[in-house]
Structure 1
Amino acid sequence: MNIIEDFLVRKEQGFYCSYGDFYIDPLYPVKHAVVSHAHGDHASPGHKHIYCTQATAEFIKLRHSKQPDQSFQLIPFDTYFEINGVGIYLYPAGHILGSAQILMVYKGVRYLYTGDYKLQADPTCEPIQFKEADVLITETTFANPAVKHPDPVQEIMKLAVPHNILLGCYSLGKAQRITALLNEHCPEKEVLVHHSMLGMHKIYDRYLKAPMRYELYNRKSMKDGSQNKIYLVPPLTFNSYRRARNVLKAFASGWERLQAQNDISLYLSDHVDWNDILYFIEQVKPKAIWTIHGDGRVLQQHFHGKFEIRDILSQTFSPDYC
């Protein structure tokens, strides 16, 4: 078995596999794009062929209505397909609905690209699956022993207070996870969603066994009736409402810096923390690890002398397809 050191490299457009002539999560238009999930820093429009799960395709279509339907190649989980001789499987990543790890097989070597992933239980998305690989290509957003994500139920229970709450969160994934958590653990709370989240919630409802309970926000909602409302808003709206009165403010994130100046800290992350990464590595059993999306230096120090860990290689930009 020979690991190809430049099997996947970082280019300006995204992560490029020259052996199959395709990109993973490209930000600029390419011919073949394998998309791990629908967050804006991983999914963009303009590609000729997009390989992704059905849920990811629905989110992309919602946000980018001009992307032609015929450009989508819908790939079920645990289904083999090929792009120019490279075998590929998609497996659940547990990050958001439809999010996928991308396992690439070439000349007998298995390369596993995690995308963004989490191990915490989340009823709003497919639970992560563990697959062994020779090379693990992992995100390192919170790859630091100082980071330990708290229990999400304990965090959501912080919102069980007799006040209206302005809650900042990302429109896709986080907002739906919070809605489901509130529905289950704080059923007395009325969940109001920003209009930018409504389409995402409706897509989630089609996939969930039990539809979520929520309403679209209107200007009178937070002023009328009892103090039991939680208004979910995207980051830009949250920042513009900093001076809002008669509400408690919270922002759902794993980042400590985003908790500053809020009335309630709410540590809810959809990424793995340090212990999660170590456990995931045990399950994958890689011979080498390439790191992306974050700082992998602490991980490199932790495994020094055991096996190779390095940042993914970069390649200078050269136009391939526009």
Structure 2
Amino acid sequence: MILDDFVLIDDKGLYCKYGDFYLDPKLPAKNAVITHAHADHAISGNTDVYCTRATATVMQLRYERTAAKVFHIVPFNQPFTIGRVQITFIPAGHMLGSAQILMEYEGTRYLYTGDYKLQPDATCEPIEWVKTDVLITESTFADPAVIHPDPVEEIKKIVDIKINILLGAYGLGKSQRLINLITEHAPRKKILVHHKIMPINAIYENMGYRPGKYQVYGRKLMKVQDEFVYIVPPFTFDSYIRATGVKRLFASGWKNLQVNSQDTLFISDHVDWKDILETIARTQPKQVWTLHGDGRHLKNYFKDEIFVKILN
């Protein structure tokens, strides 16, 4: 039997009272089950954190002593229990270590996706599929009008840009994926990486996911026009708004983050409308609960075929 109150939203975030834990809490919690290490999902100050090794390693890099009082590091596909709920981490394909959270209680399965991605990505574990009774999916781009382009075709756009490129990207997950895409599909480009991104690259490499060919940025290098691509985090990108002699691009799935009307780089690490429909087809839920976006399009699309509940 599906419990309508299996997870509820309170001031700390998404709470499961049957196991007494939060999923990606927004405020410090006693028991926190973390899907991945992006800061909007993995905050500091939790007491007991349950996550994958990659997620814990990035959290420790970012937060040091305040990352958690205790980390419970669990491999993918190895069940464990909190309270009365059995939990299993399933690869989500969003970034290194990202996990879907499969929760089983009294014979019913609830799958919380967290952020996830279906597109191929050599810098993280590919998404895996499990059947579920309830799919709790992020719906950031759950709109029939949003279809993400092929990331390979997007990255090939930079091949014909002959001046140096200042490429803005989030330092964790997106930057490593961009390094890999440029190395593979724009091999003439020489990749420079901001020093803030280097420790994250080191984590990826230590876990067997070398992004590609790159070197740390040096000020003298960008003064030469040699088809450099300098990958920088958002705060640095914004500070270089008056940079001359470079093409400014920001790699994102969001239209408002594209900085040139003539040159866009739409590379998203989230699912689009077609991806969500494929996820529902593969997981075969009886109900779909939506988070982090607008679930109305899904509700209208499935009508009486699948019950859709909007949690946020």
TM-score category (smaller protein): over 0.9
The match for 1:54 is 53
Q: What are the Cα deviations for residues 172-207 of structure 1, in whole angstroms up to 9, with x where unaligned?
A: 000000001111111221111112211111111122
Which residue number corresponds to residue 201 of structure 2? 201
Counterpart residue identity of residue 231, structure 1: Y
1:186 counterpart residue number: 186
Equivalence map 1:229-268=2 (5 Å): 229-261=228-260, 264-268=263-267
Retained in 2: the 8 A contact 1:250–1:263? no
Root mean square deviation of aligned Cα: 1.4
Distance 1:251 1:209, change over 3 A: closer
Alpha-carbon distance in 1 for matches of 2:240, 2:247: 11
Which runs of 5 or more residues in structure 1 are unaligned? 314-322
2:306 maps to what in 1? 307
Structure 2: stretches of 5+ with no match in the other structure:
none
Asked if 2 retains the 8 angstrom alpha-carbon contact of 1:169 and 1:175, the reply is: yes
For 1:44-193, what aligned pairs fall within 5 Å after superposition? 44-67=43-66, 71-160=70-159, 161-193=161-193
CA contact (8 A) 1:249 1:263 kept: no
TM-score for both structures, normalised by structure 1: 0.93
Moved over 6 A (4+): none
Give the C-alpha shift of residue 217 in structure 1.
1.3
* Residue type of the alignment partner of 1:44: I
**C-alpha contact 1:205 1:212 (8 A) present in aligned 2:** no
The range that moved more, 7-16 or 264-273, is: 7-16
1:249 Cα deviation (Å)? 0.9
Listed as ranges, the matches of 1:276-315 within 5 Å are 276-312=275-311
CA deviation map 1:101-152 (0-9, x unaligned): 0000001100000000010000000000011100000000111111111111
SS of the aligned residue for 1:71 comes to strand
Under a length normalisation based on structure 2, what TM-score does the superposition of the two structures give? 0.96
Aligned to 2:216: 216
Is residue 140–residue 296 contact of structure 1 (8 Å, CA) maintained in 2?
yes
1: distance between equivalents of 2:167 and 2:266? 12
Asked if the contact 2:141/2:293 (under 8 Å) is kept, the reply is yes
Offset at 1:208? 3.1
Cα distance in 2 for residues equivalent to 1:42 and 1:6: 22
Q: How far did residue 258 of structure 1 move?
A: 1.5
- The code of the aligned residue for 1:295 comes to D
Per-residue deviation, residues 245-292 of structure 1 (Å, max 9, x unmatched): 000011101111211436520000000011010011000100011100
| Equivalent residues of 1:77, 1:92 under 8 A apart | yes
Identity among equivalent pairs (%)? 51
